[in-house]
Chain A
């Protein structure tokens, strides 16, 4: 018998076992009482580091809460954290490493470019990525992948909800322009916002809107006065802004002497508290989209616990919404694993599709056809207030029903939008 084992047989067996090793080890991670490893792959350096830190904090709080409550099916959650450096090449290397470590269930993607790279990578490696703020609409359209899920609102939902709110609150503001950054995200958000204006103003305000050419602004520069001047000279009584972070702070600061926002309605796509925290009493009054505002969700036990744990962990009383995106993503994995009774990739994908789970912003439903969540879209209205120690205050907040602003599922197909005639 022993003599029948020749060198070729041994090599074949070794080769077969080497090929099978990732699957065997993945199954071994999926069973027993070992901790469930979840990969947190987000920007911990580079231009998105500021947001990545909120994502990491949200994931850590969710893991602590889940572990304190007994874990997932009796198994503790163990986070494996990696820095994607906001670069697709670094992100894919780190994602592969995480899969190799057994953390094939991952979350934390902020960058659109990285989110798009995750599709083919996760398909090849047998993993899953849950994004935490990645904005590209292609994720659930042209570049749809079974292995990538967006558990937060898409730019389509966010920007159309903003247009819907404006049609309800400001029916007389019918001439619009935009301050739009010169990259794909900026142009996409403007296109979607226009689509929303063209739908909701006639439907809700019973008025037609005039949409002027947007002001395209460069990314990451120190002087926006020329662009502010152009915007100030337009007859627009509404301005949409999708510049972001430090660019927005600089632009809003330089716009102040031009009184650009003083007698115009300003809708900001996604800065949350970034601008107000920086400008304090200099901030203009404006609406901004936010992933989660704790006051809006007061009374929701998950939201109250998240806020309390965040303040306890960081000492900061003004969390940004990205905290809740990572928190919701980890709870999505928890709900999916419990539903599937397994951490196997195929089982978790099947469980995530159509999943309903509770989050800090309320119930979310993962649409099975295109892996896009249906959730309410949140917005807050910020006004300057020199008497407040922060220099500003939130004077209004709303939720827009996600069902009223989401597009039909069209995985693999390009998004279709209304355009001004």
Chain B
């Protein structure tokens, strides 16, 4: 029984932190720019493929430093892509109706799909977890894979960094001011356009970082863009649109829902997850942490 609970707890946290890693960039872009980026999963996917390409040079044995280096390369690459996407697409989306944002970012997702097929092809690919993270810790009945511990650790580090920057630095306070009232921010001399660009770059870099850190967590294929994005949107919506703290809390909450559902309702996978999202939205339409904690 203790083993069951520990396993549920552990699997829930792994799911939560993997989802949070993907959702963090999505949340930041929405929180500051109010752009719901449907293409986020696409850039997460390209980040994973970039990391795969880097790690391919190491064959079957990947040192931890190389794995982390691959993730950083993916983050930088997607950050650079973010500069271009901001100039060409996002800059034009700031004062248009939501439906145009949806169409534009969905089109970007299709571009990402096509790019991956063109460069890496249709084959299913995978990356081995780095050396030292291939096994598991056995605690009684519970089995705790070391790579899962790594994913949980990465999620916590990214959350603490974002939380620290957004809520405890002048940069974060500036971002919050722009998110709430960009006109007033401009009036007091803040270069809002530059902040918007930096936000997009940060959002894309986080997508790339998530792709690189999670590249050994699942298979790589042009379907990868769609695998996390549904649950990442669930986390963003439940957490309170645009709130990093809310996304973090929501990812843990939904992670437990998912793990409990898989353990106790195995014949109805996913049902409890969507029922919970619906229920939360009925009770708290603004999400768990609502507006008060917006970015």
Contacts and interface: CB of A to CB of B under 8 A. Distances in A.
Contact of A222 (B143, B222, B227): B227
B148 interface: yes
Given A50-B221, A250-B218, A258-B136, A229 B125 contact: no
B94 interface: no
A49 interface: yes
Contacts of B227: 220-222, 246
Nearest to A280: B60
A49 B116 CA distance: 13
B169 interface: no
A253 B228 contact: no
B269 A217 contact: yes
B125 A278 contact: yes
Contacts of B286: none
Interface in B158-186: none
Interface string A219-246: 0111101110110110000000000011
Contact of A50 (B11, B123, B216): B123
B145 A257 contact: yes
Contacts of B134: 256-257
Contacts of B276: none
A254 B122 contact: no
A143 interface: no
B141 interface: yes
Contact of A258 (B143, B231, B267): B143
B14 A249 contact: no
Contacts of A247: 219
Nearest to A259: B136
Interface in B108-146: 122-126, 128, 134-136, 141, 143, 145-146
A49 to B, nearest CB: 6
A359 to B, nearest CB: 25
A277 B60 contact: no
A246 B11 contact: no
A225 B124 contact: no
6 contacts: A49-B122, A216-B266, A225-B148, A230-B266, A247-B219, A281-B128
Interface of B: 7-8, 11, 14-15, 18, 60, 122-126, 128, 134-136, 141, 143, 145-148, 214, 216-224, 226-228, 231, 258-259, 262-263, 266-267, 269-270
